[in-house]
């Protein structure tokens, strides 16, 4: 057999072919190494975009976002499902609008931060030994729980903003329980990695990576193929993408910024200039509520007082500018006109100081809500009949609805049929 004019044996040809295949594999492996190093997944300590210096800085921002989400999420959950000791003020009326908007905006901003952090530490998640010392076992267990819980929280929270629920569990309680797991894993992770974090934050971003044992950083083993990609470039890009993610949704909480929030699912549009989460059709509410047989029943001290819509209209009317803010992060201000709840209850003989149950014609999950005593007695709590100088649209709760300051929209009960003093 001839190769390039030479006679070679079959065994020589096999060895020659193997050597050429090996050379190709080496070239491919080298290209993969360069690509991994470029995107920050090369495990060698000399990679300019990987290591504690970058990871710690991104981790601080991610920790701040998760901390804000945790605190504001607790508030939102406790307002909707209040424990006996919890108290929430009626003023300022925009406070829940602010806390829940902050919750959703920081949650969305945390998504690119989490992706970058996972990208910088990805190889270490599979580094050997798998178990090692008890401290290492604790660290790896906390990281596993943290990664899973963080991804779950951000993924389900993002779908909740869009009101898409491709699961069977109840989002609110599951999200609340997982938040405790995530924040616990974060605290364990910080405690284990605190020496590394302090050292990394105390050194310049471009400082050579120090091995875990504190020995001098190894010299580069091969030329730098990354070129312009540095830690500073990655960090600046991370801040830019994070800011863009926040801007993309913050407009649904800040109406003046609505025009730049290109990913906000609530634009502010809807009947009478106000968005709607649950329509009358979804709640099985028909135009039949416009009939003369509609009654709003007041139940006070064992006595029931039925009121027609004309009775409500004949009472002194109060107008208030109040925001309506939903757990998905969107909010909007509107002008509401109706009867103050405390005046309505006083007509039935109630003097205040008690919680009130609001019952809707809607038989859905939030067809019943409990209004704490301080809200029932507040000057701004209305049984609204009009919205933005028009009779309530059916989707907004006609014949009448609750509108109270500083409350989640899901608790602003629409299509009221009964009010009970507890």
> Same domain for 317 and 221?
no
Predicted local confidence at residue 86, as pLDDT: 94
- CATH number for position 253: 1.20.950
Pairing of strands 416-421, 296-300: parallel
> Same domain for 95 and 184?
yes
Find out whether 326 and 409 touch, Cβ atoms under 8 Å: yes
Going by pLDDT thresholds of 50, 70 and 90, the confidence category of residue 130 is low
pLDDT digits (tens, 9 = 90+) for 240-256: 999 999 998 888 888 77
> Same domain for 254 and 299?
no
Q: What is the mean pLDDT of residues 231-244?
A: 92
Task: Tell me, yes or no, whether 268 lies in a domain.
Answer: no
Greater pLDDT, 9 or 205: 205
pLDDT beyond 90 at 401: yes
pLDDT beyond 70 at 41: no
> Same domain for 146 and 120?
yes
| Percent of the chain whose predicted confidence (pLDDT) is above 90 | 52
> Same domain for 97 and 143?
yes
CA dist 412 and 360 (Å) reads 10
Going by pLDDT thresholds of 50, 70 and 90, the confidence category of residue 31 is low
Looking at the whole model, is its pTM more than 0.85?
no
Query: Which residues, in sequence order, are CB contacts of 373 under 8 Å at separation 6+?
Result: 352, 353, 354, 355, 356
Q: What is the mean pLDDT of residues 315-321?
A: 96
pLDDT beyond 80 at 5: no
Q: What is the mean pLDDT of residues 183-194?
A: 89
Predicted local confidence at residue 261, as pLDDT: 79
> Same domain for 121 and 210?
yes
Predicted local confidence at residue 343, as pLDDT: 93
pLDDT beyond 80 at 334: yes
pLDDT beyond 80 at 18: no
> Same domain for 168 and 132?
yes
> Same domain for 109 and 237?
yes
Task: Tell me, yes or no, whether 282 lies in a domain.
Answer: no
Predicted local confidence at residue 4, as pLDDT: 46
Predicted local confidence at residue 223, as pLDDT: 40
Task: Tell me, yes or no, whether 367 lies in a domain.
Answer: yes
CA dist 390 and 319 (Å) reads 12
Cis peptide bond upstream of 135, omega within 30: no
Greater pLDDT, 302 or 309: 309
346: tokens are 């006083």
> Same domain for 226 and 192?
yes
Q: How many domains does the chain fold into?
A: 3
Averaged confidence pLDDT in the chain: 84
Output Rg (C-alpha) for the chain, integer angstroms: 30
Predicted local confidence at residue 133, as pLDDT: 75
Query: Which residues, in sequence order, are CB contacts of 372 under 8 Å at separation 6+?
Result: 82, 87, 88, 355
pLDDT beyond 90 at 176: yes
pLDDT beyond 50 at 43: no
Greater pLDDT, 181 or 208: 181
> Same domain for 15 and 86?
no
Predicted local confidence at residue 220, as pLDDT: 45
The residue range of the domain holding 33 is 2-39
pLDDT beyond 90 at 148: yes
Task: Tell me, yes or no, whether 46 lies in a domain.
Answer: no
> Same domain for 382 and 326?
yes
CA dist 135 and 315 (Å) reads 69
Task: Tell me, yes or no, whether 272 lies in a domain.
Answer: no
Task: Tell me, yes or no, whether 352 lies in a domain.
Answer: yes
> Same domain for 199 and 226?
yes
Q: What is the mean pLDDT of residues 100-108?
A: 95
Q: Highest mean pLDDT: which of 57-61, 189-193, 272-276?
A: 57-61
Residue indicated by tokens 């919750």:
103
Task: Tell me, yes or no, whether 301 lies in a domain.
Answer: yes
pLDDT beyond 80 at 208: no
Q: DSSP string covering 141-186, please? A: HHHHHHHHHHHHHHHHHHHHHTT---SSS-HHHHHHHHHHHHHHHH
Q: Which of 44-48, 87-91, 387-391, 412-416 has the lowest mean pLDDT?
A: 44-48
Task: Tell me, yes or no, whether 332 lies in a domain.
Answer: yes
| Percent of the chain whose predicted confidence (pLDDT) is above 70 | 81
Q: What is the mean pLDDT of residues 375-390?
A: 95
Domain boundary among 209, 244, 260: 260
- CATH number for position 382: 3.90.420.10
pLDDT beyond 90 at 313: yes
pLDDT beyond 50 at 363: yes
């Amino acid at each position: 057999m001839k190769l390039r004019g030479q006679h070679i044996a079959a065994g020589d040809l096999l060895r020659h072919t193997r050597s050429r295949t090996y050379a190709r594999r080496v070239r491919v492996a080298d290209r993969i190494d360069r690509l991994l190093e470029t995107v920050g997944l090369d495990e060698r300590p000399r990679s300019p975009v990987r290591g504690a210096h970058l990871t710690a800085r991104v981790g601080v921002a991610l920790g701040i976002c998760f901390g804000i989400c945790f605190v504001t999420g607790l508030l939102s959950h406790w307002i909707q499902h209040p424990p006996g000791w919890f108290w929430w003020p009626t003023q300022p009326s925009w406070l829940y609008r602010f806390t829940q908007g902050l919750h959703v905006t920081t949650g969305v901003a945390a998504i690119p931060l989490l992706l970058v952090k996972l990208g910088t530490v990805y190889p270490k998640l599979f580094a050997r030994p798998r178990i090692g010392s008890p401290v290492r076992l604790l660290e790896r267990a906390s990281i596993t729980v943290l990664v899973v819980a963080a991804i779950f929280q951000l993924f389900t929270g993002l779908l909740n903003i869009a009101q898409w629920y491709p699961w069977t569990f109840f989002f609110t309680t599951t999200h609340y329980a997982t938040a405790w797991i995530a924040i616990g894993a974060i605290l364990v992770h910080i405690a284990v990695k605190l020496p590394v974090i302090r050292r990394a934050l105390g050194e310049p971003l471009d400082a050579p990576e120090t091995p875990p044992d504190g020995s001098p950083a190894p010299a580069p083993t091969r030329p730098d193929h990354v070129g312009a990609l540095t830690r500073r470039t990655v960090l600046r890009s991370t801040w830019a993408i994070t800011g863009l993610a926040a801007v993309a949704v913050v407009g649904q909480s800040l109406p003046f910024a609505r025009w730049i929030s290109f990913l906000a699912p609530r634009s502010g549009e809807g009947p009478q200039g106000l968005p709607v989460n649950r329509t009358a059709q979804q709640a099985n509410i028909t135009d039949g509520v416009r009939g003369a047989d509609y009654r709003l029943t007041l139940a006070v001290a064992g006595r029931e007082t039925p009121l027609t819509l004309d009775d409500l209209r004949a009472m002194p009317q109060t107008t208030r500018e109040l925001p309506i803010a939903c757990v998905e992060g969107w909010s909007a201000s509107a002008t509401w006109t109706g009867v103050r709840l405390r005046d309505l209850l006083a007509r039935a003989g109630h003097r205040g100081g008690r919680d009130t149950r609001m019952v809707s014609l809607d038989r859905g999950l939030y067809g019943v809500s409990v209004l704490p005593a301080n809200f029932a007695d507040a000057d701004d709590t209305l049984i609204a009949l009009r919205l933005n100088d028009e009779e309530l649209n059916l989707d907004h709760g006609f014949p009448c609805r609750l509108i109270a300051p500083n409350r989640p929209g899901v608790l602003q009960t629409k299509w009221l049929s009964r009010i009970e003093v507890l």
